Amino acid sequence: MAGETLFFKGTKSRVIFLAFCLVGTCLLAEAEVHNLTWEVSYQYKSLDCYKKLAIAINGETPGPTINATEGDTIIVNVKNNLLMENLAIHWHGIRQFGTPWSDGTDGVSQCGTMPGDTFVYQFVVDKAGTYMYHSHYGMQRESGLYGLIEVSVPSGTKEPFTYDGEHGVVLSDWYHSSSYEQATGLTSIPYVWIGEPQSLLINGRGKYDCANLSASVCNAANPECAPSSFTVVPGETYRFRIASLTSLSALSFQIEGHNMTVVEADGNYVEPFATENLYIYAGETYSVLVTANQSSSRNYWITTNVVSRNASTPIGQAILNYNPNQNLIPPNTTPPPGPLWNDVDARKNQSLAIEARQGYIQIPPHPDKVIVLLNTQNKVDGYTKWAINNVSHTLPETPYLIALEKNWLDVFDQTPAPESYDYENYDIYSVQNNSNATTSSSIYRLEFNSTVDVILQNANTMTANNSETHPWHLHGHDFWVLGFGDGKYDMKNNDANYKFKNPIMKNTVPLHPYGWTALRFQANNPGIWLFHCHIEAHFLLGMLVLFESGSSMVSVPPQVNMGCGKTKSLMQP
């Protein structure tokens, strides 16, 4: 039973319910309730051999993997033991139908949980696949507060591929400065950029060069930074469930001497394709199948490297272990360095190669509304910001979901957020002065159940000849990826490039430099949902929008953290 391998304190109870009925035959399925208790606290960790504070769940970072079966209910009692810092945890990729209060987004679905308090998240994992969870409070995620959610198909159901075993892989980037230091620099005049990460971690393990540092600060022999290893039996096929939880870096992932077959992306089945390396952006998950078909006389390197930015961060390394019965022996070969950071075409080609498995969900043929979102770096009152259609978003003190439910229209900007930009005249290849940029807490209000197309349009940053990769993530929904293109999206002709045949559904998609990405979704989940760049610094600086739909159907939450903004007025004296 999948649930028996859970790595957390907690209890499970079983509920029998009717799963589904097909032509008069009803199948009985068992759905479990997983009741977890998590204590979140700071701990000294040496994840890349360099000792620094990290945020751990029950002492671990990455936190415990949640293993469940489609249809199960997850209850997580999150106790904030951070002492001096609020907390919110988001279940990334879980759509939260009927449970918008459990989305875990500070400023949107809840007030941050205060030190000493416990917040109870409760939701159903309604679709098999690979997901993740992470902090959604300021830049807190990058302190190590994240982990995997693995949802298996109900028993009796077959997946469209087979494998003998599986491994979970959490990829992250790691800084030695604290998130406070970074957030302060980013929001100051002069602006201080965070720079590139010191290390890349695979399942929370990396290797920083400790030369010239005292062993009390950086100790290469610390077992906490020994490389992660993944055991295989020769001839068998493994499913690697890979999630990128980087705060900044776009990555490539590869296994020395082994091809990978991509079969799942963001909880949706992919028409299988083979590749030597997988490009993966912050907020994405993939499953790849790997067959242990190489000589077992040695082990093989697994590596990950930064792409899209000219970073000096060393590659992250782990070991594919063919010899579990002896002490782990690192291969004596050179670890694969991965593709060149600036090979943009290879990355775009992989984006274009991802198609839905045939026979997947029918896409609505036409949008009811098209929203174009220009992505720019801006200055507002001398501060560096990221803006969408020249509006840099600021989250209000009072969470939107509570404000909408209470009809408190004074707590956020009621001007509708802009649905387009001056695309006739805007030159995406040059540095603009964008002198009309502003900050606002305005939102997009979408008709419930309507079909919405979103065109993400990239542009030059405030540095000449520079445009960045932005991984955009939508809460509460999956979307169809309609297409990618170079240059400026042409409102009249570009939908010829849409691939209506088998568009994949995802929850996170890259916007490539100087390009556009088009997606379609149905606003069928009552509530208010973030859509944002998954880079921590960009999110902090306003690269986000909000989609409200059907929020009038959302009723009083069973339990909400009060104590921020206008919610204080609801507290008992």
Secondary structure letter of residue 403 according to DSSP: H
Among 393, 470, 534, 538, binds ligand C2O (CB under 6 A): 534
Q: How far is the CB of 508 from ligand C2O (least distance, A)?
A: 7
Q: Which does 535 bind (CB under 5 to 8 A by kind): Cu ion, ligand C2O, none?
A: Cu ion
The entry of ligand C2O, Cu ion, none near residue 533 (CB within 5 to 8 angstroms by kind) is Cu ion
CA distance 27 to 229: 40
Closest CA to 102 of 91, 118, 113: 91
Q: Find where tokens 């240059």 sit.
A: 487
Output the smallest distance, CB 541 to Cu ion, in A.
Answer: 9
Element housing 405 (H / E) = helix 400-406
Only segment of 69-77, 112-120, 366-374, 534-542 that touches Cu ion (CB under 5 A): 534-542
Sole binder of ligand C2O in the list 320, 374, 523, 530 (CB under 6 A): 530
CB of 530 to Cu ion, least distance (A): 14
Minimum CB separation of residue 539 from Cu ion in Å reads 8
Please tell me the chain's helix, strand, coil percentages from 3-state DSSP, rounded to the nearest 5. 10, 40, 50
- CB of 473 or CB of 477, closer to ligand C2O: 473
Q: Does 136 bind ligand C2O (CB under 6 A)?
A: yes
Give which of ligand C2O, Cu ion, none residue 473 binds (C-beta under 5 to 8 Å, depending on kind). ligand C2O
Range list of β-strands (E), 23-81: 25-45, 52-57, 66-69, 73-80
* The one-letter amino acid at 206: G
470: partner contacted, choices ligand C2O, Cu ion, none (Cβ within 5-8 A by kind): Cu ion
| CA–CA distance, 324 with 232 (Å, rounded to integer) | 8
Nearest approach in angstroms of CB 387 to ligand C2O is: 18
Nearest to 254 by CA among 242, 265, 266, 245: 242
How many Å is the Cα radius of gyration of the chain?
23
Among 89, 151, 533, 540, binds Cu ion (CB under 5 A): 533
| Single residue of 92, 167, 239, 258 touching ligand C2O by CB under 6 A | 92
Query: What does 475 interact with, of Cu ion, ligand C2O, none (CB < 5 to 8 A by kind)?
Result: ligand C2O
Q: Give the separation between CA 299 and CA 302, rounded to whole angstroms.
A: 10
Shortest spacing between CB 552 and ligand C2O, in angstroms: 23
Closest to ligand C2O by CB, 266 or 355: 266
CB of residue 545 to ligand C2O, shortest distance in Å: 12
CB neighbour list of residue 542: distance below 8 Å, 6 or more residues apart: 385, 386, 387, 388, 391, 392, 393, 394, 439
Helix (H) or strand (E) holding 302: strand 300-307
Half-sphere exposure of 488 (CA within 13 A, CB side): 15
Which of ligand C2O, Cu ion, none does residue 95 bind to, with CB < 5 to 8 Å depending on kind? none
Beta bridge partners of 20: 27
The binder of 534, among Cu ion, ligand C2O, none, by C-beta within 5 to 8 A per type, is ligand C2O
- Asked if 401 interacts with ligand C2O (CB under 6 A), we say no
Q: Of the listed pieces 88-96, 395-403, 415-423, 528-536, which binds Cu ion according to CB under 5 A?
A: 528-536
Q: Where in 36-75 is the site for ligand C2O (CB under 6 A)?
A: none
The answer to whether residue 104 forms part of the interface with ligand C2O (CB under 6 A) is no
Residue 471: partners with Cβ closer than 8 Å, 6 or more residues away: 250, 281, 282, 283, 284, 508, 509, 510, 511, 533, 534, 535
CB of 5 to Cu ion, least distance (A): 36
Q: Contact between 532 and ligand C2O (CB under 6 A)?
A: yes
Select from 162, 150, 321 the least CA-distant residue to 241.
Answer: 150
Give the binding site for ligand C2O (CB under 6 A): 90, 92, 134, 136, 283, 473, 475, 530, 532, 534
- State the residues that interact with Cu ion by CB under 5 A: 470, 533, 535, 538
